[in-house]
């Protein structure tokens, strides 16, 4: 029987991709959307020919599971409400904007015995899956160092409002790659240094570029360029890459290499058109299977918390001008 699943808010850009993917999956029945912005929610519901729920409780009564795609500041409230209604949760990253909020979400879901999965679709990239296989085979030996990038366009809107997003590009773009690095090393970040600034759009209230350095418990170190450095007419929204240096060899991952070049008339005359594997669809499919089979999700609330801790430590390090430790072991 398909999982009855709803969306809480169309605020996040990824809500569109999730809705499209869910409607293509036999394991899902997209029952509708709740949005505290009624005009936005109704427009979204009309585009996808699903119901609009004017109150969150109405959606939670119909759904077995929800995807939380609110502004970052709304993740805690939506997740806790779903848990209290006995509804499983797939939450957009970052899990929350403070450690206390993330811990409250994790506790609420555990107490209600519902699933809490965090949206890190990069784990489902074929490139990442192959890199993980090679690393776990022992072929490369110990990982010594990593460099990563998550460079995109400025998404605008609430993403640049610190009260709604919890920060700028460091909050937006650190967690994906920090999570990937944790998985590949099987290790935790224990020290973070960060430099950040607002360079590409000086009028922003948040940073639009950052360089995060990470030190892992077992000795590896890593750097991450987490910027909104891509111009408006860049051929795609951004990138996610990872270079892994190990004792027995190196790996380079480009998670968005599956594309063709398209040339058109007009201002955005050059674009990349994606093909092949759909990470969002694979993420959702795995979440639905975990709900149906009553098995633990592969990306837990604790995983979301560990990645958030890196971003929060980065802000603290940038403010203090020194490495900041993370005590999570």
Please answer whether residues 144 and 247 qualify as being in contact, where contact means their C-beta atoms are separated by less than 8 angstroms.
yes
236 and 135 part of one domain? yes
Rounded distance between C-alpha atoms, residue 179 and residue 173, angstroms: 11
Helix (H) / strand (E) element for 67: namely strand 65-68
Q: Are residues 128 and 223 in the same domain?
A: yes
In a domain, 303, yes or no: no
- CB of 17 closer than 8 Å to CB of 23: no
pLDDT single digits (tens) 247-278 = 999 999 999 888 888 888 877 788 888 888 89
Please tell me whether residue 203 adopts helix, strand or coil conformation.
coil
Kindly indicate the confidence band of residue 204, based on its pLDDT and cuts at 50, 70 and 90: very high
Which residue bears the tokens 């460091």?
170
Closest to 188 measured CA to CA, from 317, 327, 312: 327
Whether 55 and 77 map to the same domain: the answer is yes
| HSE, side-chain direction, 13 A CA sphere, residue 143 | 29
Average pLDDT score over the chain: 95
**pLDDT tens digits for range 211-225:** 999 999 999 999 999
Task: Inform me whether the pLDDT recorded for 200 exceeds 90.
Answer: yes
Q: Let me know whether 142 and 10 are in one domain.
A: no
Residue 177 in domain: yes
Q: Do 258 and 133 belong together in one domain? A: yes
Q: How many domains does the chain have?
A: 2
Answer yes or no: is 285 within a domain.
Answer: no
112-137 per-position pLDDT tens digit: 999 999 999 999 999 999 999 999 99
Helices (H) and strands (E) in the chain, counts: 10, 15
Domain boundary among 118, 136, 166: 118
Distance between CA atoms of 256 and 276, rounded to whole angstroms?
A: 10
Question: Average of pLDDT values for 308-324?
Answer: 98
- Among all chains, which residue has been given the structure tokens 């999965």? 117
Domain identity same for 131 and 263:
yes
Do residues 319 and 171 share a domain? yes
Task: Examine the fold and report which residue of 69, 90, 118 is the final residue of a domain before the chain moves on.
Answer: 118
170 lies in the same domain as 317: yes
Last residue of a domain, one of 118, 145, 177: 118
**With contact defined as beta carbons under 8 Å apart, do 232 and 267 qualify?**
no
Task: Confirm whether 160 is domain-assigned.
Answer: yes
Q: In this structure, what token pair is assigned to residue 186?
A: 């099987």
Q: Which pLDDT tens digit goes with each residue over 154-167?
A: 999 999 999 999 99
User: What's the CATH number where 25 sits?
Assistant: 3.40.50.720
Same domain, 114 and 147: no
Structure tokens that stand for 263 in this block:
């040339």
| Domain match, 148 and 62 both | no
Name the percent of the chain lying above pLDDT 90: 90
Q: Are 121 and 282 in contact (CB under 8 A)?
A: yes
What are the strands of the beta sheet with 241-246, ordered from one edge? 249-254, 241-246, 143-149, 221-225, 209-216, 189-197, 324-325
Q: Domain residues for 138?
A: 122-279+308-325
């Amino acid at each position: 029987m398909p999982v009855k699943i709803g969306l809480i808010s169309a605020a996040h850009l990824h809500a569109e991709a999730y809705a499209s993917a869910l409607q293509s999956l036999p394991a899902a029945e997209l029952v509708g959307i709740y949005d505290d912005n009624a005009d936005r929610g109704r427009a979204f519901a009309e585009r996808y020919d699903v119901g609009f729920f004017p109150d969150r409780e109405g959606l939670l009564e119909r759904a077995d599971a929800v995807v939380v795609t609110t502004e970052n500041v709304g993740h805690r409230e939506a997740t806790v409400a779903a848990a209290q209604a006995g509804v499983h949760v797939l939450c957009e990253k970052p899990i929350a904007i403070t450690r206390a909020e993330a811990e409250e979400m994790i506790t609420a879901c555990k107490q209600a015995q519902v699933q809490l999965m965090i949206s890190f679709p990069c784990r489902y990239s074929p490139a990442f899956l192959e890199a993980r296989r090679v690393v776990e085979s022992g072929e490369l030996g110990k990982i010594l160092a990593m460099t990563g990038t998550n460079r995109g366009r400025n998404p605008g809107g609430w993403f640049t409002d610190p009260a709604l997003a919890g920060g700028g590009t460091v909050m937006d773009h650190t967690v994906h790659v920090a999570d990937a690095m944790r998985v590949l090393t099987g290790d935790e970040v224990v020290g973070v240094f960060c430099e950040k600034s607002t360079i590409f759009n000086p009028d922003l209230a948040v940073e639009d570029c950052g360089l995060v350095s990470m030190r892992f418990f077992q000795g590896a170190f890593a750097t991450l360029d987490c910027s909104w450095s891509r111009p408006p007419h860049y051929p795609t929204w951004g990138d996610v890459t990872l270079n892994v240096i190990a004792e027995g060899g190196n790996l380079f991952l480009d998670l968005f290499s599956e594309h063709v070049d398209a040339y058109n008339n007009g201002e955005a005359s050059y674009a990349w058109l994606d093909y092949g594997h759909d990470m969002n669809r694979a993420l959702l499919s795995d979440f639905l299977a975990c709900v149906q089979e009553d098995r633990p999700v592969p990306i837990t609330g604790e995983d979301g918390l560990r990645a958030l801790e890196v971003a929060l430590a980065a802000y603290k390090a940038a403010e203090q001008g020194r490495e900041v430790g993370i005590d999570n072991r």
